[in-house]
Amino acid sequence: MMNNGSESKIIDGRKLAKKIEREVKEDADQLRAQGVIPCLASILVGDDAASKLYISLKHRACDRAGILAKDYHLPSETSQGELTELIERLNQDDEVHAILVQLPLPESINEQEVMETIDPSKDADGFHPFNMGRLLIGNEGLVPCTPRGIIRALDEYQVNVEGKHAVVVGHSNVVGKPMAAMLLNRNATVSVCHVYTQDLNKFTSQADILIVATGVKHLIREDMVKEGSIIFDVGITEENGKIYGDVDYENVIERASLITPVPGGVGPVTVSILLEHVIKACRSSIKN
């Protein structure tokens, strides 16, 4: 049971997501008044239960924010060529402003090739090498949604990252690498750890800002974090119908100054940033 002091430490992802959604809805209403309907096309290949849930959550968020969501659900036996053909068709469709391909894809499909097929200007997830490259040189346009959401949360809670030691645990293209780049763009001192890192505790215990994205239940324990640190838990592990994060939340919260819960932390913000990207892509298409 958390006391009021603990509650004041929680980064409320649901509350922040609602705020971002309201901002997106205002933008969407303005665009609709100009005769433009912001549109996201989502593609789901196969019947993975978690992927179907994520698509459903994203579509409901689109509905709340005034964004048109087009759903393309393809069978699991869809070929690389068939998926590429659909993406190229959506690339050419002026009424579609952003494209999302839900991952993971069936093993028969090359995910990287799929990401590279999406028009960079319609890249809702920010995974295209062009957008990743722009991020690396400090030109942040359409970038991966989870790290962008974490930056938004840091801004919202008035955390200045400049000069802080930020430790990122996990070096995926989805979270770890782009997160490190965004923090470097804001003049943090960044350490990136991963499965091959020796003595993880040495790094995490020095972190002013700790971001963990491994999918390993309770990898980060109380003795591994610095007093007063700010912690973002991106990991999700399901066990016996219950969701756990990468951080031993109940114990670590006593040492943190700010921390995200799982669920209700980073996840909702990630979805709301996706909506922001649809608006950004839509406005960019109007200018062009």
**How many C-beta neighbours within 10 Å does residue 160 have?**
11
Nearest partner of 16 among 179, 153, 111, judged by Cα: 153
As a whole number of angstroms, the distance between CA 155 and CA 160 comes to 7
Catalytic residue among 12, 27, 123, 125: 125
* CB within 8 Å of 88: residues ≥ 6 apart: 117
- Kindly name the residue from 102, 226, 233, 280 that is annotated as catalytic: 102
3-class DSSP state of 41: strand
Q: Are 124 and 281 spatial neighbours (Cβ–Cβ below 8 Å)? A: yes
Q: Is 102 a catalytic residue?
A: yes
Name the active-site residue from 27, 58, 226, 248. Answer: 58
Two tokens, residue 144: 């991966």
Confirm whether 93 is a catalytic residue: no
Q: How far is it, in rounded angstroms, from Cα 135 to Cα 113?
A: 20
Query: Does 58 qualify as catalytic in the annotation?
Result: yes
Q: Which residues are catalytic?
A: 58, 102, 125
